[in-house]
Protein backbone atom coordinates (compact mmCIF):
# COMPACT_ATOMS: atom_id res chain seq x y z
CA UNK A 1 0.00 0.00 0.00
CA UNK A 2 1.17 3.53 -0.77
CA UNK A 3 2.57 5.45 2.19
CA UNK A 4 3.25 9.03 3.20
CA UNK A 5 6.20 10.45 1.21
CA UNK A 6 5.59 8.07 -1.72
CA UNK A 7 4.97 9.46 -5.19
CA UNK A 8 1.69 8.90 -6.99
CA UNK A 9 2.14 6.17 -9.64
CA UNK A 10 1.74 6.75 -13.38
CA UNK A 11 -1.50 4.79 -13.84
CA UNK A 12 -4.01 6.23 -16.31
CA UNK A 13 -7.08 7.96 -14.87
CA UNK A 14 -9.98 9.80 -16.46
CA UNK A 15 -10.49 13.34 -15.19
CA UNK A 16 -13.91 14.88 -15.74
CA UNK A 17 -13.71 18.59 -16.57
CA UNK A 18 -15.81 21.38 -18.09
CA UNK A 19 -14.82 20.29 -21.62
CA UNK A 20 -15.66 16.62 -21.07
CA UNK A 21 -12.97 14.22 -19.97
CA UNK A 22 -9.25 13.61 -20.32
CA UNK A 23 -7.30 10.39 -19.95
CA UNK A 24 -4.06 11.30 -18.20
CA UNK A 25 -1.26 9.81 -16.15
CA UNK A 26 -1.99 10.23 -12.45
CA UNK A 27 1.69 10.99 -11.83
CA UNK A 28 1.52 13.86 -14.32
CA UNK A 29 -1.89 15.06 -13.20
CA UNK A 30 -0.92 15.55 -9.55
CA UNK A 31 2.40 17.31 -10.27
CA UNK A 32 2.73 20.99 -9.46
CA UNK A 33 -0.33 21.36 -7.27
CA UNK A 34 -1.71 20.53 -3.84
CA UNK A 35 -4.73 18.23 -4.03
CA UNK A 36 -7.10 16.95 -1.37
CA UNK A 37 -8.07 13.58 -2.84
CA UNK A 38 -10.73 11.35 -1.38
CA UNK A 39 -11.76 7.97 -2.71
CA UNK A 40 -14.76 5.81 -2.07
CA UNK A 41 -16.25 2.47 -3.07
CA UNK A 42 -18.88 3.78 -5.47
CA UNK A 43 -20.86 6.69 -6.80
CA UNK A 44 -24.53 6.76 -5.82
CA UNK A 45 -23.94 4.38 -2.89
CA UNK A 46 -25.48 5.25 0.51
CA UNK A 47 -22.56 6.42 2.69
CA UNK A 48 -20.71 7.93 -0.27
CA UNK A 49 -23.74 9.98 -1.34
CA UNK A 50 -25.13 10.87 2.08
CA UNK A 51 -21.92 11.78 3.91
CA UNK A 52 -18.53 11.32 2.27
CA UNK A 53 -18.84 13.44 -0.89
CA UNK A 54 -21.19 16.04 0.69
CA UNK A 55 -18.61 16.72 3.41
CA UNK A 56 -16.09 17.75 0.78
CA UNK A 57 -18.68 19.93 -0.95
CA UNK A 58 -19.41 21.69 2.37
CA UNK A 59 -15.71 22.10 3.27
CA UNK A 60 -14.51 23.01 -0.24
CA UNK A 61 -13.88 26.67 0.59
CA UNK A 62 -12.22 25.75 3.91
CA UNK A 63 -9.80 23.40 2.14
CA UNK A 64 -9.01 26.04 -0.48
CA UNK A 65 -8.39 28.59 2.31
CA UNK A 66 -5.79 26.19 3.78
CA UNK A 67 -3.81 26.16 0.53
CA UNK A 68 -5.38 23.27 -1.35
CA UNK A 69 -5.48 23.95 -5.10
CA UNK A 70 -7.99 21.24 -5.96
CA UNK A 71 -10.41 18.88 -4.22
CA UNK A 72 -10.84 15.61 -6.12
CA UNK A 73 -13.05 12.56 -5.74
CA UNK A 74 -11.96 9.17 -7.12
CA UNK A 75 -14.02 6.04 -7.56
CA UNK A 76 -13.80 2.84 -9.56
CA UNK A 77 -16.67 3.90 -11.81
CA UNK A 78 -16.79 5.04 -15.40
CA UNK A 79 -16.56 8.72 -16.28
CA UNK A 80 -20.23 9.00 -17.23
CA UNK A 81 -21.35 7.74 -13.83
CA UNK A 82 -18.92 10.10 -12.10
CA UNK A 83 -20.24 13.08 -14.10
CA UNK A 84 -23.87 12.17 -13.40
CA UNK A 85 -23.06 11.82 -9.68
CA UNK A 86 -21.24 15.17 -9.67
CA UNK A 87 -24.34 16.80 -11.18
CA UNK A 88 -26.74 15.03 -8.80
CA UNK A 89 -24.66 16.08 -5.77
CA UNK A 90 -24.16 19.73 -6.79
CA UNK A 91 -20.43 19.02 -6.63
CA UNK A 92 -19.37 21.20 -9.57
CA UNK A 93 -16.41 22.58 -7.57
CA UNK A 94 -14.94 19.10 -7.09
CA UNK A 95 -12.82 17.35 -9.69
CA UNK A 96 -14.22 13.91 -10.41
CA UNK A 97 -11.76 11.16 -11.28
CA UNK A 98 -12.94 7.92 -12.84
CA UNK A 99 -10.66 4.94 -12.26
CA UNK A 100 -12.83 2.66 -14.37
CA UNK A 101 -10.51 -0.33 -14.53
CA UNK A 102 -9.02 0.32 -11.05
CA UNK A 103 -5.55 0.96 -12.54
CA UNK A 104 -4.64 3.67 -10.04
CA UNK A 105 -6.45 1.99 -7.17
CA UNK A 106 -4.46 -1.21 -7.82
CA UNK A 107 -1.19 0.72 -8.16
CA UNK A 108 -1.88 2.42 -4.82
CA UNK A 109 -2.62 -0.93 -3.18
CA UNK A 110 -6.01 0.35 -2.00
CA UNK A 111 -8.44 -2.08 -3.63
CA UNK A 112 -11.50 -3.52 -1.95
CA UNK A 113 -13.17 -6.64 -3.32
CA UNK A 114 -16.91 -6.29 -2.78
CA UNK A 115 -17.72 -9.58 -4.49
CA UNK A 116 -21.13 -9.72 -6.16
CA UNK A 117 -22.00 -6.22 -4.90
CA UNK A 118 -19.67 -4.51 -7.34
CA UNK A 119 -16.42 -6.41 -7.70
CA UNK A 120 -13.12 -4.59 -7.28
CA UNK A 121 -13.63 -1.13 -5.85
CA UNK A 122 -11.57 1.43 -3.98
CA UNK A 123 -11.17 1.42 -0.25
CA UNK A 124 -12.48 4.55 1.43
CA UNK A 125 -9.60 6.97 2.06
CA UNK A 126 -8.39 10.53 1.83
CA UNK A 127 -4.95 11.87 1.07
CA UNK A 128 -3.21 15.15 0.66
CA UNK A 129 -0.98 15.14 -2.41
CA UNK A 130 1.59 17.91 -2.80
CA UNK A 131 3.43 18.05 -6.14
CA UNK A 132 2.74 14.37 -6.76
CA UNK A 133 3.87 13.20 -3.30
CA UNK A 134 1.54 11.85 -0.59
CA UNK A 135 1.74 14.06 2.52
CA UNK A 136 -1.27 12.69 4.44
CA UNK A 137 -3.03 9.34 4.11
CA UNK A 138 -6.20 8.35 5.96
CA UNK A 139 -7.45 4.85 5.13
CA UNK A 140 -10.67 3.70 6.75
CA UNK A 141 -10.17 0.58 8.89
CA UNK A 142 -13.53 -0.83 7.85
CA UNK A 143 -16.71 0.24 6.16
CA UNK A 144 -17.32 3.27 8.35
CA UNK A 145 -16.55 6.92 7.62
CA UNK A 146 -14.38 8.06 10.51
CA UNK A 147 -10.91 9.13 9.25
CA UNK A 148 -11.31 9.96 5.54
CA UNK A 149 -13.92 12.66 5.96
CA UNK A 150 -13.31 16.28 4.96
CA UNK A 151 -13.16 17.56 8.55
CA UNK A 152 -10.32 15.17 9.40
CA UNK A 153 -8.26 16.10 6.35
CA UNK A 154 -8.95 19.77 7.01
CA UNK A 155 -7.66 19.42 10.58
CA UNK A 156 -4.43 17.89 9.24
CA UNK A 157 -3.71 21.02 7.22
CA UNK A 158 -3.08 23.12 10.37
- Rounded Cα gap, residues 8 and 26, in angstroms: 7
pLDDT (0 to 100) of residue 86:
97
For 105-126, what is each residue's pLDDT tens digit?
999 999 988 777 676 889 999 9
pLDDT (0 to 100) of residue 143:
80
DSSP codes of every residue in 62-124: HHHHTT-SEEEEEESS-HHHHHHHHHHTT-TTSEEEE-TT-HHHHHHT-EEE-GGGTSEEEPP
Is the CATH number of domain 12-155 3.40.30.10? yes
- Rounded Cα gap, residues 74 and 145, in angstroms: 16
- Catalytic status, residue 73: no
DSSP 148: S
pLDDT (0 to 100) of residue 103:
97
Check 36, 39, 48, 71 and give the catalytic one. 48
- Rounded Cα gap, residues 6 and 109, in angstroms: 12
Residues of the chain with pLDDT under 70: 117, 119
Amino acid sequence: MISVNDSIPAATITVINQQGQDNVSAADYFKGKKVALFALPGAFTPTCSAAHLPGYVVHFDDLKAKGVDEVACLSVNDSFVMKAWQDAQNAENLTMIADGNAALTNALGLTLDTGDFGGVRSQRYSMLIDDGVVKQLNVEPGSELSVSDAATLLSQLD
